Amino acid sequence: MLLQHLLSNKKNIYALLLLLFYVPLSALQLGDGSDTCLSTPMKVFSNVKSVFPSEYSTYVITKDNSLWVSGSKIDIPNGSNFDSYGNYFQQIDENVIECKKYYGGEYIVKVTGELVLSNITGQKILDTEVLHVSVGDSGDVLYIKKDKTLWGYGINQNGQLCLGHTNRVETPVLIMKDIFDVYTGFSTTKILTLDGKLWVSTEEGSVTKIADDVISITEDMFVTKDNKLFCFGREFFGRGGLGSYSDMNFPITMVMENVKEVSSSVYHTLILTLDGKVYSCGGDGGSSLENYSSFGFIGNGFFEPQNRPVFIMDNIANVAVSDFTSFAVDNDGNLWAWGLNNDNELLLFY
């Protein structure tokens, strides 16, 4: 049973290989100059407009639209070690409004609207007139253009491209029109149309409407126009803030009121209220061997899971998470970070 669990996903397999052929690994993705996990917020950068964390690296866009990064250059072990940007933020591009990471590549949206794929082979322009890009865990890429159309391509294994099938798509195709936002994550895609309707992909590749009057979406959570936060679908690790750690399906259930935005990963969630307060929940892995909150990403100073939202800090303008890290940008443009900062810790819990 233990071996079956360890081989249940790609991250566990990587960890087993590292245990057999051990080398020291440090992602250094918090950008604080260390390789130590943080259980409370630490100020790590300034003059920040937005932050886009991936599992082992963190991308920051400053107020002058410069792109900065810390951590690993790829999101899987490369040969015998990680190729790292380092444990301090360094500038890698300019005139950028968004950056999303997928393993060996970076999907960059430029101020001019170009969607650029940057990797070890160089840079390639994928499309123009782009406003926003979302990259799923399986490598599916969906993006919104300035005319509010939704385009995408990728593996499409679970129908994440919302094209009515599960066939691989090699080049970008038109998916829907009148789109406000898109989020593709662990296994499904959430699409928010301009009229506030929230659509979710099915395993067959179709979409179904689950809510109206929505203003913000993330992994299995959304915020409505009256600033209520709702959770739906699989609630596991306590990330939904509903008081349970069970891996089970929940109907659409309200979590909190007075919410501005939410950012959620597979393992935890950050909630930002209208008055700038940040709350956190999640982190339970279902056993003493899988206490993911031991990486510190809850942020309350305790390495323990939380199945209800707990207060972390205030005076915050926006929040973002990856699977094991948490970030908040305050009203003065300072970036605060906490959570996993050294991949050696991953070997203890996979």
Q: Report the C-alpha gap between 312 and 328 in whole angstroms.
A: 10
Half-sphere exposure of residue 213, counting CA atoms within 13 Å on the CB side? Answer: 7
Statement: residue 82 has pLDDT above 70: no
pLDDT score at 341: 81
Q: Return the higher-pLDDT residue of 36 and 47.
A: 47
pLDDT score at 284: 65
pLDDT score at 243: 80
Q: What value does the mean pLDDT take over residues 222-251?
A: 83
Note the pLDDT tens digit of each residue in 311-320. Answer: 999 999 999 9
Note the pLDDT tens digit of each residue in 121-150. Answer: 888 999 999 999 999 988 899 999 999 999
Q: Are 117 and 68 in contact (CB under 8 A)?
A: no
Half-sphere exposure of residue 190, counting CA atoms within 13 Å on the CB side? Answer: 24
Q: Which of 12-16, 51-55, 63-67, 185-189 has the lowest mean pLDDT?
A: 12-16
- Average pLDDT across the chain, whole number: 83
Q: Tell me the Cα Rg of the chain.
A: 19
The pTM (predicted TM-score) of the whole model is 0.85
Note the pLDDT tens digit of each residue in 146-202. Answer: 999 999 999 999 999 999 999 999 999 999 999 999 999 878 999 999 999 999 999
pLDDT score at 105: 82
Secondary structure, 3-state, the chain: CHHHHHCCCHHHHHHHHHHHCCCCCCCCCCCCCCCCCEEEEEEEECCEEEEEECCCEEEEEECCCCEEEEEECCCCCECCECCEEEEEEEEEECCEEEEEEECCEEEEEECCCCEEEEECCEEEEEECCEEEEEECCCCCEEEEECCCCEEEEECCCCCCCCCCCCCCEEEEEEEECCEEEEEECCCCEEEEECCCCEEEECCCCCEEEEECCEEEEECCEEEECCCCEEEEEEECCCCCCCCCCCCEEEEEEEEECCEEEEEECCCEEEEEECCCCEEEEECECCCHHHEHHHHCCCCCCCCCCEEEEEEEECCEEEEEECCCEEEEEECCCCEEEEECCCHHHHHHCC
Statement: residue 19 has pLDDT above 50: no
Residue 336 banded pLDDT, cuts 50, 70, 90: very high
pLDDT score at 4: 47
Nearest to 176 by CA among 197, 204, 155: 197
Q: Report the C-alpha gap between 47 and 37 in whole angstroms.
A: 23
Statement: residue 24 has pLDDT above 50: no
pLDDT score at 30: 72
Token output for 245: 């750690």
